[in-house]
Amino acid sequence: MVKVALDALGGDFAPDVVIEGAVNAVNKNENLHVVLCGPEAEVKAKLEKLGYTGKGISVVDAPDPVAMDEHPVEVLKKKPHSGLVTCVALQKKGMVDASVSAGNSGAMMASCLMLLGRTTDKFSRPPIGCVIPTADRPIILVDAGANVDERAATLVDFAIAGSAFAETYFGYENPKVGLLNMGEEEHKGPAVLQEAHQLLKAAPVNFIGNIEGETLIEGVADVVVTSGFTGNVVLKMLEGFYELHKKMFGVIDTPNGRRFDEMWDYRMTGGALLLGLNGTGIIAHGRSDALAIEKAVEVAAKYAEKGVSKNVNERLLAIKDDSSEAK
Amino acid sequence: MVKVALDALGGDFAPDVVIEGAVNAVNKNENLHVVLCGPEAEVKAKLEKLGYTGKGISVVDAPDPVAMDEHPVEVLKKKPHSGLVTCVALQKKGMVDASVSAGNSGAMMASCLMLLGRTTDKFSRPPIGCVIPTADRPIILVDAGANVDERAATLVDFAIAGSAFAETYFGYENPKVGLLNMGEEEHKGPAVLQEAHQLLKAAPVNFIGNIEGETLIEGVADVVVTSGFTGNVVLKMLEGFYELHKKMFGVIDTPNGRRFDEMWDYRMTGGALLLGLNGTGIIAHGRSDALAIEKAVEVAAKYAEKGVSKNVNERLLAIKDDSSEAK
């Protein structure tokens, strides 16, 4: 049995879609238990309305709402009884295996960082590892938007964490790591990327060199390493493409159409994993609907079952500080 | 009559597709004259083979080939009789209105910079202004890949140049300028973007704030301002998405399908304009086929006719140095 704590009030369409997503997830997965953290009476009433049978879901009372723009540290201090903080606190106490919120992502990150703790002080903030689609297969993007203005050595740590993620989750052997840049040649791009390119050549990853926006989409790499800033732009462009396609062409009912929907519909990805934490913290999309929440819960359970965070942490800790921190 | 000089040996499939593109362009545009710069005998033989009638095309002998990886400054020094350098030199002499090459883009940029000269010393390299598709209409991206590690003030100058481009070329009134970032809030993103955000609020452009990868594709801005590094990633992702779509779904023969092809097929854009130069220098795609070359020549003629470079330069020169250069 895998237990996933879910912030019932997190997300633009909470709590309705969150509760619906949780019910769908447990109905489809016998081995899954969801702990809904939110205002108990409200959550239970909605569960009843959805015909919830009492199997696979429990509720922990956490009545405080968290606004999307509330300051992360303030949330931690003043809202210990929010669904967001509670779902992380339950993991800290060993009562669940993973925590998911589609709410205030900065607050979720801060809660995971402060309550679960970081494995390494290499990252100022836990980088976001995100499954993204390509023309060929899903791959891992690190960092999808937690950090900015990273040093070259930090990008190397992203590569190590991303490799362990791709290996553990997808089973990709010796995953190919590409550095997102503006040209294939090693002397191309911003100074920090030129430096990172040299460091990556010596790093314990299967570095295949620089990749570009087009080869990223083609799927030449299994892991794309980039600054949180660029990673966020990439992630949101991928979402934008999908939305554009959907708007212009609707559902295309061919094998390729179904494959495109399955891989490019970002609701199917469910949520992104915070890397370098002593635990499994998942940030789901703020605009999540019931399907996205269902997938986020499923993915959280898989991350926990496969020990993705544990493997990422072992890999990060195995590096001697002087090799990756050297400037 | 607009005269466009074209590097006959520039591009992965030169000279065949270049010459074919030139013939198609002049056949479709009575008001256009193309000066093909390349090895005279070879070019003339190919023109004859294509049934060229003697109208609209002249040939200037420029026999030196330029390799794609040749050092830009070396090309200028050692290959004055290349098609690339010759097509820029002709513009310097006032014999043509615009110069186009699909060859070594670094060498094209260096040739334009050294021979035509820069209007302003604000840019270390002339930023690339590129027409890109959105869900709604074509917009301008600056910089699409010439510069790296820009200061905040340089991004402001990109905004000014891009605004003049969008206004002059598309006729967009008071074009909306968005700064590509990882969040809408002004305190989000890398330090240089936070600083640029503040400078843009005071700049003589219609600044609408930060935009993100998804809103870029939706088309909320008429001009997207970003570092040459990110701009290059964005541009290549747009190309990658088009290729993916084409590969998965082929030609979709509906009004939306035709509209998508017209706007998203990057061959239709033809070429990108170097901004801040005393002249019209166009970099076409290295992989250009005949259609892409035809469009590049047409677009070059339009840029020259509409005085895009002239308007961009006037706008750049109108800013007091202390306003945009202030740190």
Grouped pLDDT means (10 residues each) for chain A, 327 residues: 97 96 96 98 95 90 93 93 97 98 95 94 89 96 95 96 97 98 94 98 97 97 98 97 95 94 92 96 95 97 97 89 44
Question: What domains are there in chain B, each with its CATH number?
Answer: 1-118+276-306 (3.40.718.10), 121-268 (3.40.718.10)
Tokens 């206004």 sit at which residue? B167
At A267, list the tokens.
């609701």
Residues of B in contact with A229 (CB under 8 A): 181-182, 189-190, 193, 230
Give me the pLDDT at residue A122, please.
81
Contact across the interface for A182 and B228, Cβ inside 8 Å: yes
Residues of B in contact with A148 (CB under 8 A): 182, 189-191
Residues of B in contact with A212 (CB under 8 A): 232-233, 236
Q: Which residues of A lie closer than 8 Å to B, measured between beta carbons?
A: 135, 145, 148-149, 180-183, 189-191, 193, 212-218, 227-230, 232-241, 243-245, 247-249, 252, 254, 256-257, 259-260
Give me the pLDDT at residue A320, please.
61
Tokens 């002239």 sit at which residue? B310
Measured between alpha carbons, how far is A123 from A117 in angstroms, rounded to an integer? Answer: 12
Give, in order, the Cα–Cα distances in Å from A165 to each of A141, A226, A239, A290.
Answer: 10, 15, 22, 26
Contacts of A170 (CB under 8 A, 6+ apart): A137, A138, A140, A222
Contact across the interface for B189 and A229, Cβ inside 8 Å: yes
The secondary structure element, H or E, covering residue A72 is: helix A72-78
Measured between alpha carbons, how far is A64 from A43 in angstroms, rounded to an integer? Answer: 13
Distance of CA A134 to the CA centre of its chain: 17
Give me the pLDDT at residue A43, please.
97
Measured between alpha carbons, how far is A73 from A274 in angstroms, rounded to an integer? Answer: 17
DSSP class of residue B120? Answer: -
Contact across the interface for B248 and A230, Cβ inside 8 Å: no
Contacts of A255 (CB under 8 A, 6+ apart): none
Contact across the interface for A229 and B148, Cβ inside 8 Å: no
Among the partner residues A191, A248, A260, nearest to B248 by beta-carbon distance: A260
Measured between alpha carbons, how far is A237 from A46 in angstroms, rounded to an integer? Answer: 35
pLDDT in tens, B55-97: 899 999 999 999 988 999 999 999 999 999 999 999 999 999 9
Q: How far is B154 from chain A (nearest CA, A)?
A: 15
Residues of A in contact with B257 (CB under 8 A): 248-249
Measured between alpha carbons, how far is A321 from A325 in angstroms, rounded to an integer? Answer: 6
Compare all CA atoms of chain A with the CA of B228 and give the residue at the minimum distance: A182
Q: Is the pLDDT of residue B325 over 50?
A: no
Contact across the interface for A135 and B217, Cβ inside 8 Å: no
| Residue percentage of chain B with pLDDT more than 70 | 98
Among the partner residues A213, A230, A237, nearest to B216 by beta-carbon distance: A237
Contact across the interface for B233 and A227, Cβ inside 8 Å: no
Compare all CA atoms of chain B with the CA of A143 and give the residue at the minimum distance: B182
A·B CB contacts under 8 A: 134
Confidence of residue B320 (pLDDT cuts 50, 70, 90): low
Tokens 């605009």 sit at which residue? A287
Mutation for testing the B interface, residue in A224, A233, A242 having most B CBs under 10 Å: A233
Residues of B in contact with A254 (CB under 8 A): 249
Residues of A in contact with B234 (CB under 8 A): 213, 233, 237
Mutation for testing the A interface, residue in B179, B237, B245, B260 having most A CBs under 10 Å: B237
Q: B286, B322, B24, B275: which is closest to B141 by C-alpha?
A: B275
Give me the pLDDT at residue B131, please.
97
Contact across the interface for B229 and A257, Cβ inside 8 Å: no
Q: Which residues of B lie closer than 8 Å to A, measured between beta carbons?
A: 135, 145, 148-149, 180-183, 189-191, 193, 212-218, 227-230, 232-241, 243-245, 247-249, 252, 254, 256-257, 259-260
Give me the pLDDT at residue A9, please.
96
Contact across the interface for A148 and B189, Cβ inside 8 Å: yes
Q: Is the pLDDT of residue B174 over 90?
A: yes
Give me the pLDDT at residue A322, please.
46
Residues of A in contact with B216 (CB under 8 A): 237, 240
Q: Helix, strand or coil for residue A262?
A: helix
Q: How far is A303 from chain B (nearest CA, A)?
A: 26
Q: Is the pLDDT of residue B321 over 70?
A: no
Q: Alpha helices of chain B — where are they, by DSSP H?
A: 16-28, 40-49, 72-78, 83-92, 105-111, 152-165, 191-202, 213-218, 228-249, 255-264, 290-306, 308-318, 321-325
Contact across the interface for B135 and A241, Cβ inside 8 Å: no
Contact across the interface for B241 and A217, Cβ inside 8 Å: yes
Q: Helix, strand or coil for residue A2?
A: strand
DSSP class of residue B272? Answer: E
Among the partner residues B244, B256, B257, nearest to A135 by beta-carbon distance: B244
Q: Is the pLDDT of residue B324 over 60?
A: no
| Residue percentage of chain B with pLDDT more than 90 | 92
Contacts of B141 (CB under 8 A, 6+ apart): B129, B130, B131, B132, B162, B223, B224, B226, B231, B234, B235
pLDDT in tens, B241-266: 999 999 999 999 999 999 999 999 99
Contact across the interface for A236 and B243, Cβ inside 8 Å: no
Q: What is the mean pLDDT of chain B?
A: 94
